Structure 1
Amino acid sequence: MAEPRSENGSEEELPSLSSLLELHKPSPSRPPSLDPEAVVVSSGGEEAEEEVVVLEEVAALRGRGAAREGAGSEPCWQPDGGLCRSGDLVAPGGEGLWGDPAPSGGGCWGGENNICGAEGPALPVGQDEPSSPLVSRASTEASLPPKKKRQYSQREREAVCQAAWERRKEREAKRRLQEEEKERKRALAKTLKAQRPGECQKYITVVLDPVLLQVEGGEQVLRALEAANYSCVVENQAVPCSISWRRKTVSSQVGGGDEWTEEPNVLVLLGLGEFLSMAQSYKQKVDSCTEGQKMTLQSYVAHVMEKLPGKILALAVVGVENYFRSLRVRSKQRLQQATVPGNQEEQRKGRKRKINDSGLELTRMNMEEALVDLQLCTQVQVSFFDSCEELGEYATMFTKAVAEAPFKREREDTGFSFYLEKRWCGGVKVDHSGRGLLKVWNRQIQQFNRVSPAMAEAIVSAYPSPQLLIQAYGKCSSDQERENMLANIPVHRGEGVTATSRRIGPELSRRIYLQMTSHNPDLCLDFTG
């Protein structure tokens, strides 16, 4: 075996790497690891024999050595180099792990048995870095201390916590708003559903006065309402023989409870005799031109409205037609008795009875005069029925009308201060392809005063869209020409021999021109209305 020489020429005998490795035999209690990851170390001499050092064994030894050092044990060094307790390689006579010189004396092998004083395996590691054996990068990285995490100051930690808390509050507020919006839409949908026909009857309660059930026709009214599945209650009313309604209001506010509200409508049942007496009092008042002591229909309504301010009153009477039929029958009987010769005494009694009953008899003309006066002065209408069954049906229809009143008012609320015909309320349906725009343009022309459908159709036929009309105005050379551009468009009305023809005229042509080109929102197009 060749002996390497140093640079200064002195000969120095060094042990071979194989002889050193033969001394390094693993402890029986700890078999060597079979990990394929290893480091190859070359001796650099003539013997080019490759030896394998298991890295896992070295890492385990270093870990146990560091644990023992943390427990307070003294570090142990190899006198002639080798492995220290931490598992690091130390050269003979060299420095320790952190640059301290290795102490002399007994060595310590950092195996599982932690046997000190025995000679542990030593590797020849020189002090100069180029002459040291090659060690893998993995072992170098394993020997480095772990990187410390960044330490945040108290102010930085508070700022991070505050930002996280703000983000959490924003998310909760957004989620809360979304839930409230859903609840509001759900409550609004429930309110609209409660107003629809077929559903609104479930939220109506009919309130009957106890006196109504004691007079003729009251029982029929109650049976008819119950047969129509309406909720009925019997309570004392301010006006005897009256019917009122109570609605269960579904709140559209989130968290709002249901409330009961009184409907403004009131239906009062008048007896036949009471009604005839009031109508007769009006006749006597008109004939004598003085204020009578008896109550008329007008004074009765005023008395009721004092007890029920703000209510919409309606009156119902049963048997008026039967009364007039009986009057006609009695009149015929009297005529027959007058034509048949009989006892003079019976004729005298008949004349006296006629004189006494003449004040109680009321003609149809007298009754109509009293009703007209009542409607003109108080806007109260009186409904007449031949039977109690008809009265029950009327009460059922009245209840249905009261229940559907909010829905109908909402449907008829078009947002305009003027009345719209039914065909105008629905508007014109326009699809995605543009079908229906021609009808919209026709409707816009008809909104001008004194424009018939035939005139609008003539203008739309000449200029099928507002854009085409604007382009035609742009081709004119003067304002006078633009104002009279539509004046000569013919308007055909009728068919056959009754067909007529006329022109649009300068007045309508001027109004359409101003409406299409003016930028003044307060410009009056038609002074005549």
Structure 2
Amino acid sequence: MTTLHNPTIWEISDSDNDGDEGAQGDLKRSSNAKLALAPPLSDGYKRPSQTRKRRSKEEMEADKEKGRGMKEARERKRAAKELEKEEKRKQQQKRKEAAEQLNSLKPENCLKCLTVCVDPALLQQEGSDILLGTLSSCEWRYIIEQQQLPNSITWTRNLPQQGEDGSATMEEDQVVQVLGATQFLDMVITVKKMIDSGGGDSAISRDAAKVLTLLVTESRPDYRRRGHETIQSKYGGENLNVEEVLVYLQLYKNMSVVFLDGWQEVTDHICAVTKSLSKRPLKLLTEKVDLPFCVDGSWASGVRVEKDGSGLKQVWSKQIQQLNRVSPAVALCVTAAHPSPQLLLQAYEASGSEEDKKRLLAGLVVEGEGKDRRIGPDVSARVYRCFTTQNPELVLD
């Protein structure tokens, strides 16, 4: 088979000696050669710009729906982020408020919220300026106003978190009444007459919700002897025991009586009460709801029982150890033979006579570091009485 090649088309120049015409002839031959070698265009060929397919209406709607879905997803993601930021902001605000509240409950800050209320009648007593001078030097707030109980001192606390106007005042339950020697002796005589006559409490007028402390100021060392002489002379010469009145006030009226030597000691007492009140809010916050003597931890001989029941065997062993002269080794021996109280009760029921029930645990061997021993009839009988008696006042040992 013979392959035909496109022949090169030559153009013959009129003059071979003309250089310019020769160059143009070569250019024409090169162009004609390219045209002759180029493949012909087929009838079905179209340029790329003319081959883009027109989309249908359904495809356009699907693209729009896809775009809307992506936009909604972005919006939901943005909203979730905003919600998360808002939640974090709220938590930070709560922690900040809790920290501020805890900081406000510190004693040094609570002192700024306390106000010492002094009855004007106390200013007539000699030496009362020591109290006012001390309160001023400590930069504690105090006011002079009429009190319900004469010659008394009370305390109020500002509560910024309460009230419609953002502040409120709460009265503390502590009340201190300062009495001179003569005033106290008159009160003792009145209370003694009330005790003897079986009368009411008209001699002692106070708020039952308040804790009252009587401060008796007397600088003379022979006050007790002179006090007894004064009481006997006013009471008609009969024997009157001051301690009897003091015990009555403390037990029946919840009133304490403190004898102090002058206003300096009175001032020290007022300062001590003020500092104690400043520590009260933080103590109330840190106190647990549970009973304070129910401590937790292995050092307190406590056993923790989990939700799956683990720890019940240790509790059963601790219960047996509550009996006198029952060591942990003896309790472990009993719990190994009878893993629960119910099983021990069933063993008692299955025993024959009363004597057999009392000696049910006597033969159990207690393993020790040295020689093994048995529980014995005494401990066995006490365990039996503890778990089967119907008398709540029975003495086990």
- Note whether the superposition's TM-score is higher than 0.5: yes
Q: Distance in 1 between matches of 2:289 and 2:36?
A: 105
| Pair 1:179-2:89 in alignment | yes
Match 1:316 to one of 215, 221, 227: 215
Q: 2:392 maps to which residue?
A: 528
Q: Does 1:126 align with 2:41?
A: yes
Give the superposition deviation at 1:504: 3.5
Do residues 204 (structure 1) and 114 (structure 2) align? yes
Are 2:279 and 1:279 equivalent residues in the alignment?
A: no
Q: Is 1:505 aligned with 2:373?
A: no
Which one of 443, 451, 467 corresponds to residue 322 of structure 2? 451
Q: Which has the higher contact order (CA 8 A, sep 6+)?
A: 2
Task: Quote the residue 1:116 is aligned against.
Answer: none
CA contact (8 A) 2:6 2:36 kept: no
* SS of the residue 2:274 aligns to: helix
Distance 1:459 1:188 in 2: 51
**Structure 1 unaligned spans of 5+:** 6-12, 24-40, 46-122, 133-138, 332-353, 431-439, 492-500, 515-524
Please state how far the C-alpha of 1:490 moved relative to its aligned partner: 9.9
Match of 1:206, SS state, is strand
Alignment of 1:332-481 (within 5 A): 358-359=233-234, 365-410=240-285, 413=288, 415-416=290-291, 420=293, 425=295, 427-428=297-298, 444=315, 448=319, 451=322, 455=326, 457-459=328-330, 462=333, 479-480=347-348
Contact 1:206–1:232 (Cα < 8 Å) also in 2: yes
User: Where does residue 354 of structure 2 map in the other structure?
Assistant: none
Equivalents in 2 of 1:162, 1:372: separation in Å? 81
Quick check: which one's helix share is greater?
2
Shift of the 4–450 alpha-carbon distance from structure 1 to 2, 3 Å rule, reads closer
Rounded Cα–Cα distance in structure 1 between residues aligned with 2:320 and 2:331:
17
**One-letter code of the match for 1:313?**
L
Deviation at 1:199, TM superposition (A): 5.5
Q: Which residue of 2 aligns with 1:270?
A: 179
Aligned residue for 1:216, secondary structure, equals: coil
Moved more, 384-393 or 369-378: 369-378
Letter in 2 for 1:327: R
Q: Is the 8 A contact 1:487 1:508 kept in 2?
A: no
**Partner of 1:246: helix, strand, or coil?**
strand
CA distance in structure 1 between the aligned counterparts of 2:151 and 2:80, rounded to whole angstroms: 61
- Tell me whether 260-269 or 503-512 shows the greater mean CA deviation: 503-512
The alpha-carbon distance between structure 1 residues 357 and 203, as it changes in their structure 2 partners (threshold 3 A), is closer
- Matches of 1:251 and 1:407 in 2, distance apart? 16
8 Å contact from structure 1 (residues 272, 319) kept in 2: yes
**1:412: Cα distance to partner?**
5.2
Q: Distance in 1 between matches of 2:242 and 2:137?
A: 34
Percent identity for Structure 1 against Structure 2:
20
Q: Which runs of 5+ in 2 are unaligned?
A: 12-26, 301-310, 352-356, 367-375
Q: CA deviation at 1:275?
A: 1.8
Contact 1:269 1:317 in 2 (8 A): yes
Tell me how far apart the structure 2 counterparts of residues 443 and 321 of structure 1 sit (CA, whole Å): 64
Is the 8 Å Cα contact of residues 217 and 391 (structure 1) preserved in structure 2? no
Change in 2 beyond 3 A, CA 1:191/1:299: same
Cα offset, 1:14, TM superposition: 12
Q: 1:299 — aligned with what?
A: 202
Deviation at 1:145, TM superposition (A): 4.4
TM-score by length of 1: 0.48
Distance in 2 separating the partners of 1:142 and 1:4: 32
Deviation at 1:248, TM superposition (A): 4.1
2:250 is aligned with what amino acid?
A: Q
| Structure 1 segment 223-262 matched on structure 2, within 5 A | 223-226=133-136, 230-249=140-159, 251=161, 259-262=168-171
State which structure, 1 or 2, has the greater radius of gyration over its C-alpha atoms: 1
Q: TM-score, normalised by structure 2?
A: 0.61
* C-alpha deviation, 1:143, in angstroms: 7.0
1:159 Cα deviation after fit:
6.0
Distance 1:473 1:213, change over 3 A: closer
Partners of 1:510 and 1:141 lie apart in 2 by 106
